[in-house]
Amino acid sequence: MMKFNLTEEEFNSIAEKYRSDDNMFKYADFCNTINLAFTQRGIDKNPNASVKPVSENDTFLARRKYLEITEDEMQAVHEILAEY
């Protein structure tokens, strides 16, 4: 399972966006939204459909977030990269 380090503000924003009227989390809607980042709806019914590749612009915000890391996190990255 992947770990995502969300700020409290990011977590609360997601929780609010996918909150149902009965105060439950709309997990299926959340998953459908996440899946749109990688594919398109209905591709199983149209196997010849072309899916747009992910571009640098699609990942800009995520990459920008990870540029804001602490000195300890940067050291951990360097240690991992040194192993390869």
- Give CA–CA dist 32/43, Å, rounded: 13
pLDDT reading at 26 higher than 50: yes
In angstroms, how far is the first alpha carbon of the chain from the final one?
Answer: 22
Residue 19, SS3?
A: strand
pLDDT reading at 6 higher than 90: no
Is the pTM for the entire model greater than 0.75? no
Write the DSSP assignment of 47-66 as a string of letters: TTPPPPPP-TGGGHHHHHHH
Quick: pLDDT tens for 45-81. 887 888 777 777 777 776 666 667 788 888 888 888 8
